[in-house]
């Protein structure tokens, strides 16, 4: 099972064991992780599952679709080149060890 590390704004981190086929957002909410709201439940409609991807991982993620790109313009915390919506990242075995930073706020 691939594991993902979330780094909170205060620097603390959480390691989350994931199940096959789920999205990063689903794994995070299933573990009760604070910092990911996911108000739309993963339908790419709310931009409250925003994460910053660790630079070293950015190129290894699947490319983003146009709707994700458009939604990221509306995130509550600033959009950066490393910004992604965690509900749009499906976990695959090669993402084991992925490191994601949580933004200051989601709304």
Partner 1 sequence: MTASGAAGSGVPHLDVDPFDMSFFADPYPAHELLREAGPVVYLDKWNVYGVARYAEVHAVLNDPATFCSSRGVGLSDFKKEAPWRPPSLILEADPPAHTRTRAVLSKVLSPTVMKQVRDRFAEAAEARVDALLQMRSFDAIADLAEAYPLSIFPDALGLKPEGREHLIPYASVVFNAFGPPNQLRQQAIERSAPHQAYVAEQCQRENLAPGGFGACIHAQVDEGAITATEAPLLVRSLLSAGLDTTVNGIGAAVYCLARFPDQWQRLRDDLTLARGAFEEAVRFESPVQTFFRTTTREVELSGARIGEGEKVLMFLAAANRDPRRWDAPDRYDITRRTSGHVGFGSGIHMCVGQLVARLEGEVMLTALARRIGRIEITGEPKRRFNNTLRGLDSLPVTITPA
Q: Is 38 in the site for partner 1 (CB under 8 A)?
A: yes
What stretch of H or E contains 52?
Answer: strand 50-53
Q: Between residues 31 and 54, which has the closer beta carbon with respect to partner 1? A: 31
Q: Is 27 in the site for partner 1 (CB under 8 A)?
A: no
Calpha distance 52→44 (Å, rounded): 16
Smallest gap from Cβ 33 to partner 1, in A, equals 10
Looking only at residues 54 through 83 of this chain, which bind partner 1 when binding is defined by CB under 8 A?
67, 70-71, 73-75
Backbone angles phi, psi at 58, to 5 degrees: -50, -50
């Amino acid at each position: 099972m691939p594991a993902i590390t979330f780094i909170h704004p205060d620097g603390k981190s959480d390691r989350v064991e994931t199940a096959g086929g789920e999205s990063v957002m689903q794994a995070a909410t299933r573990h009760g992780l604070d910092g990911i709201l996911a108000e739309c439940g993963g339908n790419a409609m709310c931009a409250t599952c925003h994460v910053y991807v660790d630079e070293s991982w950015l190129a290894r993620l699947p490319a983003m679709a146009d709707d994700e790109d458009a939604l990221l313009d509306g995130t509550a915390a600033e959009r950066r080149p490393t910004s992604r919506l965690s509900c749009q990242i499906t976990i695959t075995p090669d993402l084991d060890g992925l490191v994601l930073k949580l933004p200051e706020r989601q709304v």
